[in-house]
């Protein structure tokens, strides 16, 4: 079985929490480091949530605190959607028992990548701030990164239920530009996919809630996280799809593209130009039945977790 060395960059956050839990127990992943960033919530709460999840699920992996604001701008977080504590109405103790490592996210990532050249994939569930700062401070690291997989971007700019549908890009578009220009192999899950093909309808959320303790925990944090602008009740799985792209690529239909990001009049607006010669792999289709089966089987595999 192939194992992937990964750094997971995250802003948990409800959607991140789902991806983090499932990836924690995936034997195909060798998680070297978690880094936290401001996005869904401020970086201190995001960091505490990451430590809390590791404690709750009995895992020990280094955590490094990252950017508390974007590279050039400080945009609002999404606590209005994720809740004060980042996990809906679920109260998270304000101080985890474990602590972050002394190195910040940039230096911790740099050390691991330098020590494991061409072996580390970065899974990015939040804004690109930490990786942007890494590439700016240590440009020599770019050719040593095996792959970056991230969630967040809209192929056609203004499309969907609101402008700039991708929160992660518009939160720090300058950092995203650093990633686009880095030459690192990139793969992206558009935000629309998590909301549509990858949706969890209310009936499926209820089914998950009855499966085991982990499912019940997820059902609880989902209760105020229903997607806005749809006639039905659904949960988006944006970050979970980014994780699955690495370990189960057969779920996705891929097109190649080059991507541009607006930094001026419409910060965060993205446009994809699709071409067989495109440098970025874009997930433009999801095998939904296979995805649902995979998702449910991963929850079922956590039957032995008592929370």
Which residues make Cβ contacts (< 8 Å) with residue 161, sequence separation at least 6? 228, 229, 230
β-pair partners for 252: 286
- In whole numbers, what is the pLDDT of the chain averaged over residues? 92
Length, in residues, of the chain:
307
pLDDT digits (tens, 9 = 90+) for 224-256: 888 888 899 999 999 999 999 999 999 999 999
Instruction: Tell me how crowded residue 177 is: count the other CB atoms within 10 A of its CB.
Output: 18
| Domain layout of the chain by residue ranges | 4-300
Which residues make Cβ contacts (< 8 Å) with residue 102, sequence separation at least 6? none
Exposure string (b/e) for 111-131, b if CB count within 10 Å is 16 or more? ebbeebeebbbbbbbbbbbbb
At residue 92, the pLDDT reads: 72
Q: Would you identify the CATH topology of the domain 4-300?
A: Inosine-uridine Nucleoside N-ribohydrolase; Chain A (3.90.245)
At residue 161, the pLDDT reads: 45
* Per-residue pLDDT at 83 exceeds 70: no
* Per-residue pLDDT at 81 exceeds 80: no
* Per-residue pLDDT at 264 exceeds 80: yes
- pTM (2 d.p.): 0.94
Q: What is the mean pLDDT of residues 285-290?
A: 97
Which residues make Cβ contacts (< 8 Å) with residue 109, sequence separation at least 6? 7, 33, 35, 64, 122, 130, 131, 134, 141
At residue 229, the pLDDT reads: 83
pLDDT digits (tens, 9 = 90+) for 175-216: 999 999 999 999 999 988 999 999 999 999 999 999 999 999
Residue 32: cis peptide before it, omega within 30 degrees of 0: no
* Per-residue pLDDT at 270 exceeds 60: yes
* Per-residue pLDDT at 85 exceeds 80: no
């Amino acid at each position: 079985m192939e194992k992937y060395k990964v750094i997971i960059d995250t802003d948990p956050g409800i959607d991140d929490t789902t991806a983090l839990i499932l990836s924690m127990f995936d034997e195909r992943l060798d998680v070297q480091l978690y880094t936290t960033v401001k996005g869904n919530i401020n970086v201190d709460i995001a960091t505490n949530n990451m430590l809390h999840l590791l404690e709750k699920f009995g895992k020990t992996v280094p955590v490094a605190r990252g950017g508390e604001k974007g590279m050039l701008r400080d945009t609002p977080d999404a606590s209005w959607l994720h809740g004060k504590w980042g996990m809906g109405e679920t109260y998270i103790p304000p101080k985890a028992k474990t602590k972050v490592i002394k190195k910040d996210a940039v230096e911790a990532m740099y050390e691991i990548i330098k020590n494991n050249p061409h072996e580390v994939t970065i899974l990015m569930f939040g804004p690109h701030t930490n990786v942007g700062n890494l590439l700016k401070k240590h440009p020599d690291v770019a050719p040593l990164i095996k792959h970056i997989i991230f969630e967040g971007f809209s192929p056609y700019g203004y499309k969907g239920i609101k402008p700039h549908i991708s929160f992660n890009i518009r939160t720090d578009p300058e950092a995203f530009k650093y990633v686009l220009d880095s030459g690192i192999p990139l793969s992206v899950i558009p935000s629309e996919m998590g909301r549509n093909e990858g949706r969890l309808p209310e009936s499926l959320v209820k089914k998950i809630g009855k499966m085991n303790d982990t499912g019940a925990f997820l059902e609880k944090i989902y209760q105020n996280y229903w997607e806005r602008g749809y006639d039905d009740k659904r949960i988006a799985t944006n970050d979970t799809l980014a994780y699955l792209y690495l370990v189960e690529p057969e779920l996705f239909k891929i097109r190649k593209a080059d991507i541009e990001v607006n930094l001026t009049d419409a910060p965060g607006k993205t446009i994809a130009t699709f071409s067989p010669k495109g440098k970025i792999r874009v997930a433009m289709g999801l095998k939904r039945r296979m995805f649902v089966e995979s998702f449910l089987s991963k929850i079922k595999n956590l039957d032995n977790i008592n929370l």
